[in-house]
A and B are shown apart, each in its own frame.
Chain A
Amino acid sequence: MYHVRALHRWLVTASAWLVLGHALMAHPGTDVAIIDLSTLISSSPDSAELRLRRATCYIEHQRWSEAAADIDHAARLSPDHPDLALARAEYFLASNEPLESIKALTSHLVSHPTDPAAHILRARARARSGDLVGAQSDFQLALRHLPEPKPELWLEANALITESVSALADLETGLTRLGPVPALEERALRLELQLGRTESALQRLTRLATQAERPETYHRRRGDILVQANRLPEARRAYAEALAAIDRLPDWLRQSEPTQQLIVQLTPLATSRL
């Protein structure tokens, strides 16, 4: 009898997964995913995982009471589910209750101290609650625990550093770990110019030009910075280097509309007395 019941349970679950699999393959949008998950939950009402997945969809749609109900239900079904704390924290953060989110994550991090996702979420919750120092600390821990942190994460953490010199140093660390990622380079360049570190900015652009297959725009930007700094002969040389880089391009690229426009702009700058 037990085997018959087990087989029946298995068949119900398997067919529900098949239905869900088919539905999700056809309509994986979040709104439809809620409908599909609801269908599956009605077939497998004891699955905490399904409740948590539906809760995430509800959070995305800001359907707070339904999200909370699913999380609470999942907690009753599986109090030790590994994703429970994160789902709860996500819910509190999205519904603008960062302190509750922090509480849930702090408790989770006691048993999972190196969970980068939890640190990222708590960093965001702490930032939302005004605790910038705590947020920075959590971001640093997340970045430390991730073997390959993403540029977006580094920039998000960096944006919390209010002091420009420290922010710049942090970006340099990021560039060392991630490589010359454009978004990090651009922010570093902006900070260098804000801090009046013209020489560093020029060196950065020179390095980027050296690494680039098409260095002309970097030389042009060097020229613009040098003009701002009233270093006109050097500016002319930078513009001339941009023109020389364009000259080295194959004909078909040199003749492209944007490149022709650039030549028109650069030629007087490289030759005239600015």
Chain B
Amino acid sequence: MKLPSSLLLLALIAAPFAQAATTIVRGPYLQLATPTSIVVRWRTDNTEPSSVRYGLAANQLTLTAKSEGISTDHVVQLAKLQPNTRYFYAPLTGNDKPAKPGAEDVSPSAPISSFITPPLPGPAQPTRVWVLGDPGTKNATQAAVRDAYYKFNGNHTTDLWLMLGDNAYSEGTDADYQKAVFEMYPTLLRTVPLWPTLGNHDGKSANSLTQSGVYYDIFSLPTMGQAGGVPSGTEAYYSFDHANIHFICLDSNDSPRDADGAMAQWLRADLAATTRDWIIAFFHHPTYTKGTHDSDKDSDSGGRMNDMRANFLPILEAGGVDLILSGHSHDYERSHFIDGHYGKSQTWEPRYIRQARDGRPEGQGAYTKPRARTPHSGEISVVTGSAGHASSTAIPLNHPAMWISLNEAGSSVIDIEGLKLNFTFLNETGVIRDTFTIEKK
């Protein structure tokens, strides 16, 4: 059939203006979860308005949240949510046309996902946290570590997950993040809020002083204490609450680490203010390691490990920290139940071990702490920096502060139920390679 020439002309004129179908090329992913709000982020291949439909059932997305303006990188906060409640949501894209011109009521064409809002801070609630250190290799090991956790977790709810830095090798660029994070963990990203810290590789494409670059562009983190804790005024370091747990993220890479600097002052105030049962701190550079890095070596990592051990560890221990998580060394190193060691390994003495046992209820017994927060009552430091790969060469793994050290790829899982914290290191094949328990009484 031959088209009339006028129709052909019209088609040619209109073609450039026709809206191509929009594709979500990143996410959606969840950020800054509080009991009453959450930030949904995603990226589209077309510039368009940002809005999310959400509701209490997958077939009842009756509410809409929007952001101003148009963008390819969409950031929408869902507010006035109920604590500890499952919500279903889907971003609206340009493909979703209103039933009538100007009508608000559209059904999303993007897949519907769901999340559970955090419970109110304070009362205990069983909580599972997945911890990934240095995951971002984009390789088969990273995928194996992920799959091992998914299998281990089964249908259990993951409440939140932490990335301990070096989230996307090797330069922390947007393209690195796309492959190492967004294409690696799409399911978890759209259902569970992720809380990251900055590693040295992320720092290659980010600047903490100006809070600019890829890491700061990708993540929405609390600066005003929105999720609990004292306002830090920066996304570089922050804290948040989940049930009876207080999480503290420090920037060991690119913020001044002096003992009386802004980060240290904030940390003191934040520790003094919290009334949660558990305090878990995480940052990239470990206080003790003899893995692919050496915390005894001044020149290693620009002295950052020394700074964290000498300047920040005393503050954390005085504030009653229970667990310290870090990465950077591509291995797993778990300390004894310790307190008070701020020097190099040559100055280590057994007196720094507060409870000399394996921490396993089925073994020599769990570690115990008083519930009444007591300074310097002991904590466990864990280097869990092998979620992307372990060391390909032999490493010393002989720091005397460590109870166990393994050159194995894997990730860590924290389960907190009331006054009991169970910790598991899971290797890339799904074998549990270490566990310990801290109980508060």
Contacts and interface: CB of A to CB of B under 8 A. Distances in A.
A116 interface: yes
Contacts of B320: 256
A128 interface: no
State the 4 A-B residue pairs at the shortest beta-carbon distance, nearest first: A181-B233, A178-B233, A183-B262, A21-B170
A214 B255 CA distance: 27
B136 to A, nearest CB: 9
Contacts of B374: 256-257
A253 B256 contact: no
B265 A182 contact: yes
A194 B263 CA distance: 24
Contacts, number: 138
B261 interface: yes
A4 interface: no
B373 interface: yes
Interface string A1-33: 000000000000000010011101111111110
Contact of B232 (A26, A181, A213): A181
A184 interface: yes
Contacts of B277: 252
B274 A152 contact: no
A249 interface: yes
B371 interface: yes
Contacts of A184: 233
A20 B293 contact: no
Interface of A: 17, 20-22, 24-32, 60-61, 116-117, 120, 146, 148-153, 155, 178-184, 186, 212-214, 217, 249-250, 252-259
Contacts of B262: 150-152, 155, 181-183
A148 B213 CA distance: 13
Chain B CB within 10 Å — which of A182, A184, A212, A259 has the most? A182
A28 B388 CA distance: 15
Contact of A116 (B170, B210, B236): B210
Nearest to A28: B200
B392 A26 contact: yes
Interface stretch (B73-81, B223-231, B356-364): B223-231
A153 B209 contact: yes
A259 B233 CA distance: 28
Nearest to B229: A213
Given A150-B209, A183-B266, A256 B373 contact: yes
Contact of B273 (A27, A155, A214): A214
Nearest to B320: A256
Interface string B228-264: 0011111110000000000000000001100001110
B183 interface: no
Contacts of B389: 25
Contacts of B373: 252-253, 256, 258
Contacts of B59: none
Given A25-B170, A217-B272, 18 more contacts: A21-B169, A29-B300, A30-B299, A31-B299, A146-B210, A146-B212, A148-B234, A151-B266, A152-B262, A155-B262, A183-B265, A186-B265, A213-B273, A213-B275, A249-B275, A252-B371, A252-B373, A253-B373
Contact of A26 (B211, B269, B330): B330
A178 B223 contact: yes
Secondary structure type dominating chain B contacts: loop
Interface in B57-90: none
Contact of B275 (A24, A61, A179, A214): A214
B345 interface: no
A152 B273 contact: no
A3 B200 CA distance: 37
A176 to B, nearest CB: 11
Contacts of B392: 22, 26
B223 A212 contact: no
27 contacts: A21-B169, A25-B134, A25-B166, A26-B392, A26-B393, A27-B292, A28-B166, A29-B297, A29-B301, A30-B301, A30-B302, A31-B299, A60-B302, A61-B299, A116-B210, A146-B212, A148-B234, A152-B234, A152-B256, A179-B223, A179-B224, A180-B231, A182-B265, A183-B265, A214-B274, A257-B372, A257-B374
B233 A151 contact: yes
A150 B275 contact: no
Nearest to A145: B210
Contacts of B375: 257-258
Nearest to B208: A150
Nearest to B376: A257
A24 B235 CA distance: 26
Contacts of B233: 150-151, 178-179, 181, 184
Contacts of B269: 182
A182 B266 contact: yes
Given A26-B392, A253-B373, A146 B211 contact: yes
A112 to B, nearest CB: 13
Contacts of B328: 28
B321 to A, nearest CB: 14
A250 B134 CA distance: 38
Nearest to B299: A31
B266 A214 contact: no
A29 B209 contact: no
Contacts of A217: 272
Contacts of A117: 207, 209-210
A128 to B, nearest CB: 17
B200 to A, nearest CB: 5
Contacts of A180: 231
Contacts of A28: 166, 200-201, 301, 328
Nearest to A25: B169
B391 interface: yes
